[in-house]
Amino acid sequence: MPWPRRISLAVALLTAGSVVAVCALTPLAAVSAGQVLDLVMSVAAGVLATFLGLFVARRRPANPVGPLLALVGLAPPLVMLTDTYAYVNLTRPLPGAEAIHQLVAGLWTIWYVPVLLLMLVFPSGRLPAGRFPRLVLYGVLTDTLVFNVTVVMDPTRYAPPFEDYGHPLPTLPESAIWISFLALGLFMVLLVCSALVMRGRYRAAGPVERAQLKWFALGAVALPGTLLLCWTDYLLFGHVGVLIWVGLISLCLGVPSLAALAILRHDLYDVDRATSAVVTWGLVTAGLLAVYSAASFTGGLALGRGSAVAAAAVTALVAVALVPVKNRVRQSVDRRFYPARERALAAVTGLEREVHAGQARPEQLEEVLRDALREPRLRVGYLLPGGTEFHDTAGEAVVEGTEVRLAGGPIGIIDGPCPREVAAAGALLVETVRLRLELRRALGEVEASRNRLLRTGYRERRRLERDLHDGAQSRLVSLGMALRLAQRHLDDGSVDVNGLLDQAVAELGTAVAELRKLAHGLRPSSLDDGLGPALEALAVRAPVRLDWRLDGRPLPDHIATTAYYVASEAVTNAVKHAEATSIDVAVAVGGNQDGALYVTIRDDGRGGADPGRGSGLSGLGDRVAALGGLLHITSTPGAGTTVEAVLPCAS
């Protein structure tokens, strides 16, 4: 088992033990109903985060991201355990409660340190190359240790219930306590440095890793957000209350959830759209908090302690007023944070207008997106109908990127940092281009098929000329000369006329036989009686067992001839190249009125037939295409070959 997965399991066991201990100690502790609610939320958040960490560790067992996510889940129940243990008071505090209470003073950092480490190594689990990321990593670990040590060894007495017990741990001189404030300030600096490391990784990343980092950043924003909520809590209420718990729970739920989503399913949803929504609602919420703060302050001056009701009423009115402007806020956010997306959407819309006006070609989509997104390496791949791979207009494969979908199915792919909204906006252009590419390919295949047919015709004509010249023609010329010689010497008796005529008759018979053989190569005479007798003759001549079936109505002569040649060529290939021992030929007409003729030839040979090699199968494709039909060849190595021709034969 890889070490990251082992660590994840160990952290999960610690989390489970903390949860059990908290549940056992809570009935004995002097806690309020609000503290019980905090405990329940913390335990639930910790369990969910730990589960997500284990899940990621199982799916990516060699990636340290899994253990770090599990550590995020360990923080809530562990902090609640130390708090609960310190406040259990039967006759006197539990053993070590004073020391544990002192340790809690710096334990809050475990909420944040795993997130900082994730910012440094996400999503690959490795630090980026360079000296700066290593310095930040060492700084986070060292600063956290220094801060906890100085806070734990603070000689100042702590709050109840332990002010009468004295300091339970060794202490530092009071003059050294300033180190903890310095470490706290450095912690904030390291938070900014971790964000800079993540930004540098994003700039050097490919499209997939960029999408993963965006998802993770949505969750990691809860870290500074939690600190902001803590400040807001102090500002509004004078103590750490509900807002800080909202921030901490968001941290424990948001980071593991979005990190797991980024690692396992980064393409599930458009991350740019999600980011825009988060920023928009964040601004709206910040505005409402500002209004509430201002209303509370103003109401406090004017109305005294009853100002909370007035502040809430004012805030509710402002919230109602902000609803119509939310979309405008989002548009402003998009223009500010995603100018490239706005440029790309405008460029795609402009290209569509120009294409409709006949001033541009849809194939310019790739060039337009490169300029709008400022990504010179961006490529657009198209999935041709019936294909399984994406290729650009030059025919080169495009492997990964943002999918372009239409009617629920993929039609293209954009290899580059392209938002999904832009890909969706260009769907009609992509569909147009791929249909034009398919038409161009079909025309190219027709041209190639016509050239092959011409070459085959010329080759067959030369063969016929050669066979006629060397065979029947020479015999007929020789026969004519012999008859002319007999005519000249018929009266003088110097020539055996009877023998000469017998020889002429024999030569004539041989010439007729050769002509029949040539004619059989053009069209078997057995087809005069229909396709069935022709297939029967083919089965008789085949050197292996050949089973054939013919179902359906009588066929036009040109359809029957093509079907025969498909069967004959496929049988010849099976015997000659596939070393087949058994062949099955099935000819059947479809059931509907305009049904096609299906000619299927299966053999048990070695398979691996390639229509691109040799002229036999490609010639069959040309012959079938000349009738408007289709030829399908399935030939898996070691599993035989199936040749199926679909010929239109409407009544």
pTM of the model: 0.53
Rounded mean pLDDT, 479-494: 74
What letter does residue 49 receive in the DSSP assignment? H
Confidence of residue 491 (pLDDT cuts 50, 70, 90): confident
pLDDT grade, residue 306 (50/70/90)? very low
pLDDT band at 166 (very low <50, low <70, confident <90, very high): low
What pLDDT score was predicted for residue 602? 92
Q: What is the average per-residue pLDDT within 365-373?
A: 90
* pLDDT score at 218: 79
Task: Kindly provide the b/e burial profile for residues 286-295, where b requires at least 16 CB atoms within 10 angstroms of the residue's own CB.
Answer: ebebebbeeb
Residues whose CB falls within 8 Å of the CB of residue 152, separated by 6 or more in sequence, listed in order: 102, 103, 105, 106, 169
pLDDT at 360 over 80: yes
Confidence of residue 543 (pLDDT cuts 50, 70, 90): confident
Instruction: Tell me the per-residue pLDDT of 70-91, one tens digit each, with 9 for 90 and over.
Output: 888 888 888 888 777 766 654 5
pLDDT of 599 reads 92
Least confident of 44-58, 111-125, 197-211, 509-523: 509-523
Question: What pLDDT is recorded for position 515?
Answer: 72
In sequence order, the β-bridge partners of residue 29 are: 88
How many other C-beta atoms are found inside a 10 Å radius of the C-beta of residue 77? 28
> What is the pLDDT, as a whole number, of residue 447?
72
* pLDDT band for position 132 (cuts 50, 70, 90): very high
Q: What is the pLDDT of residue 231?
A: 56
* pLDDT given at position 420: 80
Determine the Cα angle at 614 with ends 609 and 615, to 5°: 110
Query: What percentage of the chain carries pLDDT values higher than 70?
Result: 69
Cis before 637 (ω within 30): no
Percent of the chain with pLDDT over 90: 9
Predicted confidence band at 319 (pLDDT cuts at 50, 70, 90)? low
Question: What is the rounded distance in angstroms from the CA atom of residue 346 to the CA atom of residue 175?
Answer: 62
Cβ-proximal residues to 132 (8 Å cutoff; 6+ apart), any chain:
193, 196, 197, 200
Residue 518: its pLDDT value, please? 62
CB-neighbour burial class of residue 266 (10 A; exposed 0-12, middle 13-18, buried 19+): buried
**Residue 395 reports pLDDT greater than 80:** yes
Give the pLDDT of residue 304.
46
Least reliable range by pLDDT among 252-266, 335-349, 395-409, 579-593: 335-349
Place 498 in a pLDDT band, splitting at 50, 70 and 90.
Answer: confident
Q: What is the mean pLDDT of residues 55-65?
A: 88
Q: Which residues, in sequence order, are bridge partners of residue 382? A: 391, 412
Phi-psi region of 45 (alpha: psi -120 to 50; beta: other; left: phi over 0): alpha
Q: Label residues 404-430 b or e (16+ Cβ within 10 Å = b).
A: bbeeeeebbbbbbbbbbbbbbbbbbbb
pLDDT at 215: 84
Q: How far is CA 102 from CA 96, 150, 296, 326, in A?
A: 10, 11, 36, 47
**Res 278 pLDDT > 80:** no
Identify the band that residue 318 occupies on the pLDDT scale cut at 50, 70 and 90. low
Average pLDDT rounded to a whole number, residues 441-445: 75
Q: How far apart are CA 565 and CA 599, in angstroms?
A: 10
Distance in angstroms (rounded) separating the CA atoms of residues 455 and 427: 41
Which of the two residues, 310 and 36, has the higher pLDDT score? 36
Residue 76's SS3 state is helix
Q: What is the pLDDT of residues 500-515, one digit of tens each?
A: 777 778 777 777 776 7
The pLDDT of residue 155: 67
Do 366 and 393 contact (CB within 8 A), yes or no?
yes
To the nearest 5 percent, what fractions of the chain are helix, strand and coil?
70, 10, 25
Average pLDDT over residues 570-591: 85
Q: Which stretch of 193-202, 231-240, 384-393 has the lowest confidence by average pLDDT?
A: 231-240
Q: pLDDT at residue 139 above 90?
A: yes
Residues 6+ apart with CB under 8 A from 353: none
**Which residue would you say has higher pLDDT here, 28 or 256?**
256
What is the reported pLDDT for 120? 92
**Range ranked top by mean pLDDT from 7-11, 26-30, 457-461, 469-473:** 7-11
Task: Report the pLDDT value the prediction gives residue 150, as an integer from 0 to 100.
Answer: 84
Q: Has residue 418 got a pLDDT over 70? A: yes
- Residue 14 buriedness (CB in 10 A; 0-12 / 13-18 / 19+): middle
pLDDT at 330: 59
Residue 153 or 382, more confident: 382
Tell me which residue of 14, 129, 138, 141 sits closest to 79, measured CA to CA: 14
**What's the rounded mean pLDDT across residues 15-30?**
80
Q: In 365-415, where does DSSP find H-type helix? A: 365-373
| Most confident listed range (104-113, 279-288, 434-443, 466-475) | 434-443
Q: What is the mean pLDDT of the chain?
A: 77
Render pLDDT for 279-302 as a digit per residue (tens, 0 to 9).
Answer: 666 666 666 556 555 655 555 445
Burial 237-254 (b: 16+ CB within 10 A, else e): eeeebebbbbbbbbbbbb
pLDDT of residue 266: 74
Cis, peptide link before residue 123, omega less than 30° from 0? yes
Q: Are 86 and 103 in contact (CB under 8 A)?
A: no
Q: How many residues does the chain have?
A: 651
Question: Nearest 5 degrees, angle CA 536-CA 540-CA 542?
Answer: 115
